Structure 1
């Protein structure tokens, strides 16, 4: 299926690791601990691990699904299964998801800048700067985006050594008692951890841009495993520092942990965290912008330049519309619902439909012979 894209525009298979991991680790790392304790509390790590295992199954489904697409991506698969009109409508819903995904990353980061660093700076300034840089990167093509992912994927992993400082004050008994919650509690924490794992679904768009993409599945699984390890280590480090009551009222736990770090020449280490985290959200923003522009280019036949400008304009409007903290939380819930439905419901359903259609075609071909 990779033949639909010129080889000069493709990247090697092992870059799938960086692409998937970079888009999966975003702004959610800074506050997911406070959300998932509402349910399983100190046992929430079980829910995070369970969703991580489920994501491996989803990745397997996506590769199985994409091998059935004539054009190698979900846009061609929609046309193949549903026809031009219904297929365009289905792809249009994915465009909405791309807009929500990017808007969620940028709006939450803008809120951090407003609360922690620049309380008087208007939202549109930071959003415009991020969109300008992201749009410039996307205009360079998919290989440039891959290079950004390769560089930015290192930053979330650097947070792990800094856990040494809060672990000096760790209370390991905070992890006890184990397994003392109901199944409903684990399910509630699992639902809140869905946002953490969103991102691999963009593989449905950039699959044709990977050389020998049928052999890239192991790298996608490695990316999900990499993300899961980071989430688990940070979660355990947070649980042994905060008790459950403190954690429920701590909005950005990862940033609070960074305030413990003290050096002679660096007093506010949390500022370094905040400004470096801009590079963490860039891959997700760039890939979602690129995917949104590709949808408009493939479905509405807009020129690539115009498709990019329209996508950026829609995303800027979406970010500026979300002004209050209440709307930010509402946006997070919408992304969780939309992304969770896409990942854990629509992709399995689409695989069933595609497999059924393929089986009917094979049976019809066998009868014709």
Structure 2
């Protein structure tokens, strides 16, 4: 047990130090501020352009010319700074760390707020208290770059289809609630993206598909199972309307995120402490995510949030269940208030959250609880 404690403490400390070190690569803060200002100016010009539906209108043509100049300047400056960052991250260890992803559950959407959460207490002479709800993976990008530049306009010169392969491990343990949770999973995730947009188009609509196969162990119920999951996401990025899977930009000092994810789970319990728990379960499910966060710089990408409010609702139903225990409709509602300590290269927040419901695949029983913890997310 002591070795587990030391490993977890070392992981949290080294992760935070890594984030601080990577953040220090930005040696020219003025240049990055200029990039943010140029991005804001580009967004404003796009909005003005669309007020003139006639493409031959002289005012629109003037705005298009100005937009082209600003866009060229934006990419020249961004590429220059990105090349400095790449050259600073070219050691084998830094390349390895750059491909590590830390989330609550490995998900392909680049901007989805789904952080891992930690709260650990090791009192002397008493039982330890655990709250770990986290997943870690390593991205093998088999064609082009998968997540890091999917929003970039120049990225589309490299192709419109992307694949990635991610070995992963997730750990879900909570001793602070009435019905304890203790589950861990390991496996692989395969992700595919079909990106539909030309460099000069104003709206990008992409389709994401993700499949994962994991071995799952519910320690409390002694249930061992194989868990196959498939999900589908639509990614929309534009200057008008509500975006999906990425931030919706407005002129107000707030960013909004919204996504709807249909998916299914096929769980086969091959060993348990009771024969009634063995068998197969098929669960169609959906997840709705919404977040509103501060955006004082008024930019769509790479916004440095200070505070955000997040909501997530998951609903599922066991349409086929050969075990002796029916689940019927189950749900999990989570809401949180997040204070940001760090935005880049990972998000680090202190968050207060309210949870109500259950998650059978992760061994979380139906209950409600409040918690305050440290959240990390790196994609």
**Coarse TM-score class (shorter-chain normalised):** under 0.3
Q: TM-score, normalised by structure 2?
A: 0.20
The structure richer in helix per residue is 1
CA radius of gyration, larger in: 2
Select the structure that is richer in strand.
Answer: 2
